[in-house]
Structure 1
């Protein structure tokens, strides 16, 4: 019996030693994936330390987006302002590259998620990135104004910097709309929020100063008013979102339109949809020089 007891003690001791040896590895793994965004255990899901069951039915999707990105809860007015920006950017028709790509992808025998990914992956610096760039530009104008410059001068200096690198000013002008129909409703909401003390209004002033300078420079020519990227950039910046998140939020918004178009296209029975209808011969292209 004594031997049996000793063997049991040795087995227990060996198990404790093995457990102690594994503990540092377990801690290291836990730290490797440590995050403040969410915590999941059997029977428990927390988002920013908020149990999911407390959010379901009481928090809107926009509130949860804010919670996950910012770690706090927006006021009702902040939530409404963010929602307006997200609603404004959901779609811009099948001629938008991201939408066109998703629709073509949906006819190629891939899943709906793959069609969505195709469209979303088209959102880069030239198509989808102007909001982020505009937040950066308006932040520069705001910073120069804070040094004592008036808004007009601050805008001119920053615009000169941007236009030394690119012919385009992000957030202003539109290839299709003389005046973007989304501009005025969004800026009206921002003005109301400024009047009620919900947001400060500095980025709005910066954007309006840039628009004013452009209007004077282009007197007699086609105006270059603020577009959807500029108006939503004002909202994201006024709400305190860093510039890279302006792009992320636009992608999140446009994903709704990408999904809707991909789903519609998938039900129309086409196979391998191309950029022009079957039977339409594209115009003959001139020969490539040096080829």
Structure 2
């Protein structure tokens, strides 16, 4: 008969980690063997994938994580964290406030782009050229939404993070670290958009598209593209929340108090 102690142990059993008095194992690896020897990006990979990446895989993952850490205080997740930090909720709650804003419309495009690129790769594997596969997939996606996730940017004519990230993927393809299929898919979509918009403002790949290429090339499922972005952006959220907590002010709105009217209009005002 199973004892209550054994039953409780089985209930909480997980392949991710195991602890006993004097022992901590992460994916069956003693934590003391990881400390000082294994980088943070490698440990992220280990916990999610149950093995350690090669040095080239780890470098590519780290590049994507670094690229997504911050995009200024106007980003909803960061603006919310900064306001929360002055409301007396504590640093942990300020960070959680920012993270909780990373939804479908802000933070979810990487996951959506992995799904879209997967559709392009699938169409190509069934015999379509990369160009035709991109056009077919784009048409299908734009029947649901006018936006194509991972392409275009409201602020940057050309996202400065695109080129260095894709250059790293090119290198990884050349040395056999990744296949390059998702890179081909993304470039095919980008080319189709450029052709369609000839003479208009181009819609190049943005950070969500470039990191989606990396996460997909490394074999991460689409939902983890969002999860990894959350990890990445949490760094910026933490930094902004910490800075705001030291300003000695109350940040309770999108503009400074000095630009607000002296008195809000009342119902009886003309």
State whether TM-score is above 0.5.
yes
Determine the structure 2 residue equivalent to 1:72.
51
Q: Does 1:95 align with 2:106?
A: no
Determine the structure 2 residue equivalent to 1:254.
233
Determine the structure 1 residue equivalent to 2:215.
236
Determine the structure 2 residue equivalent to 1:150.
129
Determine the structure 2 residue equivalent to 1:275.
254
**1:112-149 deviation per Cα after TM superposition (whole angstroms, max 9, x unaligned):** 00000000101000000000000000001001100011
Determine the structure 1 residue equivalent to 2:201.
222
Cα distance in 2 between the residues matched to 1:27 and 1:168: 52
**1:162-216 deviation per Cα after TM superposition (whole angstroms, max 9, x unaligned):** 1000111000000000000000000000001101111000000000000000000
Determine the structure 2 residue equivalent to 1:181.
160
Question: What is the CA-CA distance between 1:229 and the residue it aligns to?
Answer: 0.2
TM-score normalized with structure 1 length: 0.88
User: Could you list the runs of 4 or more consecutive aligned residues of structure 1 that deviate by over 6 angstroms after TM superposition?
Assistant: none
Counterpart of 1:208 (choices 187, 207, 210) is 187
Determine the structure 1 residue equivalent to 2:151.
172
Question: What is the CA-CA distance between 1:153 and the residue it aligns to?
Answer: 0.5
TM-score normalized with structure 2 length: 0.95
Cα distance in 1 between the residues matched to 2:143 and 2:8: 48
> Between Structure 1 and Structure 2, whose CA radius of gyration is higher?
1
Determine the structure 2 residue equivalent to 1:81.
60
Question: What is the CA-CA distance between 1:27 and the residue it aligns to?
Answer: 3.5
Cα distance in 1 between the residues matched to 2:229 and 2:76: 15
Cα distance in 2 between the residues matched to 1:171 and 1:274: 30
The answer as to whether partners of 2:158 and 2:206 remain within 8 angstroms in 1 is yes
What is the count of residue pairs matched by the alignment? 261
Secondary structure of residue in 1 paired with 2:19: strand
Question: What is the CA-CA distance between 1:161 and the residue it aligns to?
Answer: 0.8
Q: Does 1:37 align with 2:32?
A: no
Cα distance in 2 between the residues matched to 1:279 and 1:85: 39
Q: Which deviates further from its counterpart, 223-232 or 29-38?
A: 29-38
Secondary structure of residue in 1 paired with 2:131: helix
Question: What is the CA-CA distance between 1:25 and the residue it aligns to?
Answer: 3.5
Determine the structure 1 residue equivalent to 2:107.
128
Question: What is the CA-CA distance between 1:24 and the residue it aligns to?
Answer: 4.4
Cα distance in 2 between the residues matched to 1:156 and 1:25: 59
Determine the structure 2 residue equivalent to 1:198.
177
Secondary structure of residue in 2 paired with 1:210: helix
Structure 1, gaps ≥5 residues long: 1-19, 283-291
Secondary structure of residue in 2 paired with 1:91: coil
Secondary structure of residue in 2 paired with 1:154: helix
Q: Which deviates further from its counterpart, 269-278 or 256-265?
A: 269-278
RMSD across aligned C-alpha pairs, in angstroms?
1.0
Secondary structure of residue in 2 paired with 1:40: strand
